[in-house]
Structure 1
Amino acid sequence: MDSLTQIALGSAVCVAVMGRRTAVWKSALVGAVAGTLPDLDALIDHGDAISNMVLHRAESHALFFLTLAAPVFAWLVARGRDFMRWWLALWLVLVTHPLLDTMTVYGTQLLQPFSSYPFGVGSVFIIDPAYTLPLIIGVAAAWRCRDLARGLRWNMVGLALSTAYLGWSVLAQQHVEQRARASLSEQGVSAQRVLVTPAPLQTLLWRVVALPEDPADPKFHEAYVSVLDGQSPVQWEAHARGSDLLIEHAASAPVARLTAFSHGFVKGAIAPDGQLRITDLRMGQEPHYVFSFDLGLPDAVGRAPATQVSARP
């Protein structure tokens, strides 16, 4: 999720756990800082654009390493007072960061160093005011309310509402996926995998991408489905996937890494300058995507660092 959301979540969790044991401003500030720490890995340059993408949300988002870090941060903050409570608060702040990130489609490697599998539910967009605003309002109420007990209750209400919204997003995603799969079956389209992600900033309109069952099939299908559509038929559009290029270069390191990270939701093409271009289909829409990479000329893929031709906003 975006930095503001992670700051708000960290503050809300820390305020909820610390309660009356410390000043609300202090628990909110400590929670905001700790809630931001895992994303500092974005400042690390791993040598090329694809490595920077697939190694973001890796060790710094691993539940194992964050659990080890929690008592260290608690010792720095507690200064001998309420150490166990600070330990619990900071552990929850640290681990809820990657758990929330897992609700987006990007890919979060929760189980490092034991597994590099990128988990991604994909039921919320990276920025969603309906999730973030209850957290901000709850923390602000706890901070400013003269009645501390009432303020802390507001903070808990904010956490409850934001968590309930995540639950709603999963239910809406499952509903849309069922409709999409039924529509594909009715139209005789055989899909190996179906990706359902929300359009920006909400959870009513969803983008659906269907990969063909045959890896050599040159097309993938894309549609938009709203939870308000009722029984309206799903309108699918077929787009070129560049399956011949993906098969030809499947063994090259950059293609293999991005294919594994995106769970196969990639397409290949030849860029105007003749370079092989590989694109992550999960974020964006045809033909505009957040993550596209030029890998060099087709007969020299992997010899030079991949370069990103689109920027993460």
Structure 2
Amino acid sequence: MDSLTQIALGSAVGVAVMGRRTAVWKAALWGAIGGTLPDLDAFIDHGDAVLNMTLHRAESHSLIVLTLFAPLLAWVVSRIHGEAALFRRWWLALWLVLITHPLLDTMTVYGTQLLRPFSDHPFGVGSVFIIDPAYTLPLIVGVVAALRLRSARGLAWNAAGLVLSTLYLAWSVGAQHHATQVARDSLKQQGMAADGLLVTPSPFNTLLWRFVATTSTQYREGYYSLLDDTRDVRWTVHDRGAELLTRYRDEPYVARMAAFTHGFFSVSEAEGRLYLTDLRMGQEPNYTFHFDLGTDADRANGGQRPTLNGSRPDIATALPALWHRILGQRPPPAASAAN
């Protein structure tokens, strides 16, 4: 999730666990710090764009590593504030702050490697977008109330914020399950066979869902809003680069992308340059993670490492279109590549 959300969650958890045993501002401050620490790995340069993507949310997001780090951080915090008697409570609070960060990240589609160093499997439920105000705002309101009121009433507001945000995550999983069934029914009714099906929310909400159905040669993209008056899904078909996938399947970066995206990627070629696209984040034709792997000669002599060429839609037009689509208003088929 985004940094603001992780700060808000960390503060809320810290305040909830520490309660009135210490000043609310201390619990909120160290909760915010602990909620931020795992994402500092974003500043590590692993040498190229593909590695930077696939090694983000790795060791710093490992439940094992963070569990081992928690008592050290708690010892530092308890000594700084002269609260050695509260060491165990700080330990519990900061452990929960640290591990809720990757657990929340796992609710997005990106891929969080929770079991490092024993496994590099990227976990991703994909039921919430990386930024979702409906999840974040209750946490912020609860923490601000706790800081301002500094009383049992403030702590109750903070607890309510945590409960509401958690219920929202549960809602997102239920909504995703419903949307998944809609996508499967649509594929079946239209006689489309798919090897893989990805169901993720569109930006900032859990009402409009994006589908990606893959085969060995193509991928289909479709949309469904919970406010649609029909369960019919309009699918657009796109080439996945089957010949290139066969030719370059043993290329290390292609293999890494295949594993990290669970197969939801495409390969393309233009002017002799090979491109890799993560189909999970973005929409046609704009994808966040679109990589230029260079030419065969570049890769053979190590002359070029992958670079990120991702793109985003124009916000001025994308946001109104998103809002209309959430409300169930579909653009004419000829007017848009997506529905």
TM-score, normalized by the shorter chain, greater than 0.5: yes
Q: 1:91-170 counterparts in 2 under 5 A?
A: 91-145=95-149, 148-170=151-173
Match for residue 34 of structure 2?
A: 34
C-alpha contact (below 8 Å) 1:173/1:197 kept by paired residues: yes
Q: Per-residue deviation at 1:230? A: 4.2
Q: 1:263-282 counterparts in 2 under 5 A?
A: 263-271=262-270, 273-282=271-280
SS in 1 for 2:19: helix
CA gap 1:301/1:242 in 2 versus in 1, 3 angstroms: farther
Q: Per-residue deviation at 1:288? A: 0.5
Q: 2:307 corresponds to which letter in structure 1?
A: T
Deviations 1:1-52 (A, max 9, x none): 0000000000000000000000001100010001000000000000111000
Aligned: 1:222 with 2:221: yes
C-alpha contact (below 8 Å) 2:267/2:274 kept by paired residues: yes
CA gap 1:225/1:301 in 2 versus in 1, 3 angstroms: farther
C-alpha contact (below 8 Å) 2:292/2:309 kept by paired residues: yes
Q: Per-residue deviation at 1:312? A: 8.8
Q: Distance in 1 between matches of 2:105 and 2:250?
A: 29
Q: Distance in 2 between matches of 1:168 and 1:230?
A: 21
Q: How many residues align?
A: 307
Match for residue 310 of structure 2?
A: 310
Match for residue 258 of structure 2?
A: 259
SS in 2 for 1:120: coil
Deviations 1:89-109 (A, max 9, x none): 000000000000000000000
Match for residue 289 of structure 1?
A: 287
Q: Per-residue deviation at 1:145? A: 1.1
Q: TM-score normalized by structure 1?
A: 0.95
Q: Which moved more, 1:225-234 or 1:94-103?
A: 225-234
Q: 2:241 corresponds to which letter in structure 1?
A: G
C-alpha contact (below 8 Å) 1:291/1:312 kept by paired residues: no
Q: Per-residue deviation at 1:259? A: 1.0
CA gap 1:42/1:251 in 2 versus in 1, 3 angstroms: same
CA gap 1:156/1:195 in 2 versus in 1, 3 angstroms: same
Match for residue 236 of structure 1?
A: 235
2:177 is aligned, of 138, 160, 174, to: 174
RMSD: 1.4
Q: 2:102 corresponds to which letter in structure 1?
A: P
Match for residue 196 of structure 1?
A: 199
Q: Distance in 1 between matches of 2:13 and 2:283?
A: 34
Q: Per-residue deviation at 1:232? A: 3.5
**% identical equivalent positions:** 64
Q: Distance in 2 between matches of 1:230 and 1:68?
A: 51
CA gap 1:223/1:265 in 2 versus in 1, 3 angstroms: same
C-alpha contact (below 8 Å) 1:183/1:233 kept by paired residues: yes
C-alpha contact (below 8 Å) 2:8/2:136 kept by paired residues: yes
C-alpha contact (below 8 Å) 1:252/1:301 kept by paired residues: no
SS in 2 for 1:77: helix
Give ranges in structure 1 of 5+ residues lacking alignment: none
Q: Distance in 1 between matches of 2:149 and 2:165?
A: 20
C-alpha contact (below 8 Å) 2:282/2:312 kept by paired residues: no
SS in 2 for 1:92: helix
Match for residue 14 of structure 1?
A: 14
SS in 2 for 1:82: helix
SS in 1 for 2:20: helix
Match for residue 77 of structure 2?
A: 77
C-alpha contact (below 8 Å) 2:299/2:305 kept by paired residues: no
Q: Distance in 2 between matches of 1:222 and 1:275?
A: 25
Q: Distance in 2 between matches of 1:14 and 1:40?
A: 19
Q: TM-score normalized by structure 2?
A: 0.88
